Amino acid sequence: MTTILSTTGAAAPMVDPFGRSIRYLRVSVTDRCDFRCVYCMAEDMTFLPKREVLTLEELDRLCSVFIEKGVRRLRLTGGEPLVRRNIMSLIQSLSRHIEAGRLDELTLTTNGSQLSRYAKDLAAAGVRRINVSVDTLDPDRFRAITRRGDLRVVQEGIDAALAAGIKVKINAVALKGVNEHEYDAMIRWAHGRDMDLTLIETMPLGEIDGDRTDQYLPLSQVRRDLSERWTLTESAYRTGGPARYVTVAETGGRIGFITPLTHNFCETCNRVRVTCTGTLFMCLGQEDARDLRTPLRASEGNDLIAAAIDEAIARKPKGHDFIIDRDHNRPALGRHMSMTGG
């Protein structure tokens, strides 16, 4: 990949109207995925035309402007980022920012289906930590949740990542009546391999085939249930994301809780998201957004992009308004998580 150097001068740091310094960028590199998880997508998805999606070179350039403006953590997401053709060329190019000390961390969230193929290359490119989505340890249930995933392939990918020296965190969406009886087993499995486990409340994003009020399981309830069987101690550990952690005395491992509904994490939000089409969302749970693709393609220099980013950060909201109950059983937002970036 050809490296495009910035033409901006000293970049102004990104501070939103509430005094939060924006240090964390999540970038979706594709809306496509080889799974169709029941809480994320409809089974019959229509994906974006390729012409609307930023090229790898454009993604590199856009990420680099954000890094100049103070981003220290960069996470690549999707859809499934590792199904994007030639994705390693982007990751290898972005790793220059780690080598130069401009970026503290380059990481990604993945469903694990392609990890066996890419684990060694990811480690060589400076990826030290990844999140892998595993909602169940039952192969049949895994296929039912993902509609097409193979748990064995994902576990082989996790093995490959660990063997390559990459720290793995397991993400599991809490689904009422589906996987709530598995959390003890998942704790033992994850902590037995020195992997943290993070539980996530289902988020009301995008139309799906099911009813999210049937899926929704409050993590406040899950934590109370777990505390009856495990000794949970508050932890100051943070990764820069929204999870709040406890340490499990019996295993020495950590459990994270991401609770956008029962207890939102907005007051300390230092994150923004860019979609694969170059749309900047200042908040996952709000529709307000800024087109960055147009200024990106309007000039070879980066001044227009930087100005558009500044304008957007100046209106980053205080937080979201997610609600999920029988009176609000429609999605809070029409866009799917795969569009915004998981």
For residues 296 and 278, the answer to whether their CB atoms sit within 8 Å is yes
Number of separate domains in the chain: 1
Overall pTM surpassing 0.85 (yes/no)? yes
**What CATH number corresponds to the domain at position 200?**
3.20.20.70
Residue 5 lies in a domain: no
In DSSP terms, which residues pair with 26 in a beta bridge? 75, 273
Q: What is the pLDDT along the chain (342 residues), one digit of tens a residue?
A: 654 444 444 467 899 999 999 999 999 999 999 999 988 887 888 889 988 999 999 999 999 999 999 999 999 999 999 999 999 999 999 999 999 999 999 999 999 999 999 999 999 999 999 999 999 999 999 999 999 999 999 999 999 999 999 999 999 999 999 999 999 999 999 999 999 999 998 865 545 455 555 778 899 999 999 999 999 999 999 887 788 999 999 999 999 999 876 555 677 789 999 999 999 999 876 778 999 999 999 999 999 999 999 999 999 987 755 544 444 444 444 445 555 655
> Annotation-wise, does 63 bind a ligand?
no
Residue 120 lies in a domain: yes
> Annotation-wise, does 169 bind a ligand?
yes
* Rounded Cα distance, 314 and 311, in Å: 5
> Annotation-wise, does 118 bind a ligand?
no
Residue 134 lies in a domain: yes
pLDDT at 7: 45
Count CB-CB contacts under 10 A for residue 320.
19
Residue 218 lies in a domain: yes
Residue 37 lies in a domain: yes
> Annotation-wise, does 128 bind a ligand?
no
> Annotation-wise, does 133 bind a ligand?
yes
Domain span at 155: 24-340
Residue 9 lies in a domain: no
> Annotation-wise, does 203 bind a ligand?
yes
Strands 254-258, 244-248: pairing kind:
antiparallel
Residue 2 lies in a domain: no
How distant, in Å, are the alpha carbons of 27, 47, 58, 84, 293 from that of 51?
18, 12, 12, 14, 12
Count CB-CB contacts under 10 A for residue 86.
9
Residue 11 lies in a domain: no
